[in-house]
Structure formats: C-alpha cells, structure tokens
Amino acid sequence: MPNIKSAKKRVVVNATKAARNRSRNSALKTAIKKAHAAHEAGAPETAALVTLAIKKIDQAAAKGLLHKNNAAHKKSALAKLL
C-alpha cells in the first residue's frame, strides 16, 4: 500500500478510471455484437444498430480506449455489413 498522500490518491483515481473504462468497453462490445446479430438475423433495424455501434467506436477512440487504426478497422468491418 502506498504511504504518500499523492500515491494514495492515484490508487483511488486509477480504480475509478479502470471501472469507467471497463463499463465503456463493455458497452462498446455489446453494441458491436448487437449489430452483428441483427445482420445475421436479417433484421430491418440493422442499419440503426450499425450506426450506433460506429458512434460508440468513435467515442471509444476519442476517449483513448481504442487506437485510431483499430477503431477504423472495426468501423470498416461494420460498414461491410450494410
């Protein structure tokens, strides 16, 4: 355990950020899976789900969760579904 006050604060801040990143990453994966599932099922709302997933990918890249090239790769794969 850290003894210095600033180190203690870093532990708390890092835990908060890790939880937030875990939540965002989970939401991103869920959106991508829903888009793929809708495409597989031939659902009419596929375009809306793909658009939502692409938006989530852009947000994740902006927050630093994904590298910009990884985000572009994922968006390209989703665009192929349409």
Q: What's the burial of 26, exposed, middle or buried (CB within 10 Å: 0-12/13-18/19+)? A: exposed
Residue type, 47: A
CB atoms within 10 A of CB 25: 13
Q: What is the pLDDT along the chain (82 residues), one digit of tens a residue?
A: 899 999 999 999 999 999 999 999 999 999 999 999 999 999 999 999 999 999 999 999 999 999 999 999 999 999 998 8
Phi first, then psi: what are they for 20, rounded to 5°? Answer: -65, -45
Instruction: Report all structural domains of the chain as residue ranges with CATH numbers, in order of start.
Output: 5-81 (1.20.58.110)
Q: What is the pTM of this model?
A: 0.86
- The pLDDT assigned to 1 comes to 84
Residue type, 40: E
Neighbour-count burial for 33-58, b at 16+ CB within 10 Å, e otherwise: ebbbebbeeeeeebeebbeebbebbe
- The pLDDT assigned to 65 comes to 96
